[in-house]
Chains A and B, each alone.
Chain A
Amino acid sequence: MGPIRYIFTELWRTLSRHRTLCLASVLSMSSILLILLLFMMVLTGVDNYTEQLESREEISIFLNEGLSRPDVDVLAGRLRLMAGVDSIRYVSKDEAWEQFRADVGDEALLQAVGGNPLPASFVVRPKPEYRTAEGVRSIARQAETLPHVEDVRYAGEWVLRAEQVTRTLHQIGAVLGLIILIAVLFVVGATTRLAIQARLESLHVIRTLGGGCLFTEAPHLAEGFVLATISSGITILLARAIHDSLAVGLFHLPMPTTDVLLGFAAASGLLGLLGSWIAVATLPRKWLL
């Protein structure tokens, strides 16, 4: 039996001796970690949504009714000269109506609308460096000042709001992460301390025999690591179950990739190791005498 096997034998001895304590600890940590993982999933969802919004960077510039072809050409020329404009596409009244008909598909509804009420428009595509909320907004503001422009519509406002929401959520996530870090350290630390307290007599004997860190502290450090890793495993399973149950409903939470989940489990394990190390390092000296 080598040192590593000895540590795991001792670990198994501790886990089986303090089943209830370990179970309570695992359940507590799983609950705490689940909050974090779900929040990460929500954040990923919001990030994805924001990215989708950002990809809708095209700007629709609706024109006044009855513009002549030369007026349209002049306007097209001015639009092409505007800062940040990559390309423009003219959508006539007829094309807009055809697109609307294709989108709606309900003939009765289209007949109720009567004639074609849609205006002609330009669809402007910004240059790559302008494909941000601010960039799109700057182009839209320039377009609003042009003659013959009835209205300007773009997703930039939503992108801006979504970005603000995402930033706030990231900040909340950082605070939540910190709170959860402290909570996990506390749970692991308390578990380790209770386990050590329960085997103080044995530890004294082992110390008397000359047993060092490997025989006294290492099994408890391994305990923190293993309990936190098991907790993260349970957390991932629960998160997967929640993800699957929401997949058939209105809301959708994106499941993190395998790499992210492995990182989550490893980070949880290291957090457990840190918690038990702090517990061991700050043991009252009188316990060890």
Chain B
Amino acid sequence: MALIRLDHVTKYYKDRLALSDVSLSFDPSEWVYITGPSGAGKSTLLRLVSLAERPSRGRVEAEPGMRRAIGMLAQEFRLLNDRNVYENIALACRISGVWEREEIRQRVAPLLEEMGLHGLESLYPGQLSSGEKQRVALARALVRHPRILIADEPTGNLDPPAAAQIFSLMRQYRDRETLVLVATHAEDWTQRHPGRVIRLEQGVVRSDQARPDSGEGASPAGTAPGTMGGGI
């Protein structure tokens, strides 16, 4: 069953058309790349999928309460500079309604370990490298146990080893039933980490296909919702 569906979605910003009649469906455990040139509508699509915006036309269908089950990762890290690593991650717990100190610790501690941030929890973002900052941002996105992880150009500010590490960490979460959506310019990642690739141009889905080596079948762009991008 689809986790989230876009049904003939069109989005305007004032008079500018950002997305035009897009129908897509995403399942749990999918690894999906959104590619295309600047201005193609990648970020708009992610904002709609993250339920942060509503479409001008069409429908975005998701389970009730899905918004709290979405983790976001951005190119520019977006950490709170006046809080240390631990507090940056813990804040996401509190926002999702977890207030118990012990429960927060039980959620944050394993992530710090997994992300290679152990020992850095009391440092502030200004004291971290770009790769470490992005790992903190990823930990913050994952601490809420998201069902959808949305990453908008997550490696744009990282050197190749750090970028590879981020991809590898995100990959682990795809294996935990999390839908991972990655918007990227860097199409070489689609070769290294196979998955479904949706290519946007001028707000229109030009192609939507899965890499054969991941065992996914190709789906033509514009197919009716629910029939596209089935399980990876």
- Tell me the complex Cα distance, A202–B81, Å: 8
Check A2–B78 contact: CB distance below 8 A: no
B67 cross-chain contacts in A, Cβ below 8 A: 210
Assess whether A3 is interfacial by the CB under 8 Å rule: yes
Check A6–B80 contact: CB distance below 8 A: no
Check B92–A209 contact: CB distance below 8 A: yes
Check A206–B99 contact: CB distance below 8 A: no
With both chains docked as a complex, state the minimum distance between the C-beta of A45 and any C-beta of chain B, in angstroms: 49
Of chain B, the residue at the smallest CB distance from A204 is: B78
**Which residues of A in the span 164-198 have a Cβ within 8 Å of any Cβ on B?**
none
Assess whether B57 is interfacial by the CB under 8 Å rule: no
Check B94–A210 contact: CB distance below 8 A: no
**Are A206 and B101 also in contact (CB < 8 A) when A13-B82, A17-B82 are?**
no
**Are A3 and B99 also in contact (CB < 8 A) when A13-B82, A210-B68 are?**
yes
- Tell me the complex Cα distance, A3–B95, Å: 10
Check B94–A1 contact: CB distance below 8 A: yes
- Tell me the complex Cα distance, A209–B96, Å: 9
Assess whether A288 is interfacial by the CB under 8 Å rule: no
Of chain A, the residue at the smallest CB distance from B140 is: A209
Instruction: Count contacts on A: residues with CB < 8 A to the other chain.
Output: 15
B99 cross-chain contacts in A, Cβ below 8 A: 1-3, 6
Assess whether B79 is interfacial by the CB under 8 Å rule: yes
A215 cross-chain contacts in B, Cβ below 8 A: 91, 94-95
**Are A206 and B94 also in contact (CB < 8 A) when A1-B101, A13-B82 are?**
no
Check B95–A211 contact: CB distance below 8 A: yes
Assess whether B72 is interfacial by the CB under 8 Å rule: yes
B80 cross-chain contacts in A, Cβ below 8 A: 202, 205-206
Of chain A, the residue at the smallest CB distance from B69 is: A210
- Tell me the complex Cα distance, A127–B181, Å: 90
Check B78–A210 contact: CB distance below 8 A: no
A3 cross-chain contacts in B, Cβ below 8 A: 99
Check A205–B95 contact: CB distance below 8 A: no
**Which residues of B in the span 73-123 have a Cβ within 8 Å of any Cβ on A?**
74, 78-82, 91-92, 94-96, 99, 101
Partner-A contacts on B (CB < 8 A):
52, 67-68, 70, 72, 74, 78-82, 91-92, 94-96, 99, 101, 140
Q: List 3 tightest A-B contacts by C-beta distance, closest first.
A: A211-B95, A205-B78, A202-B80
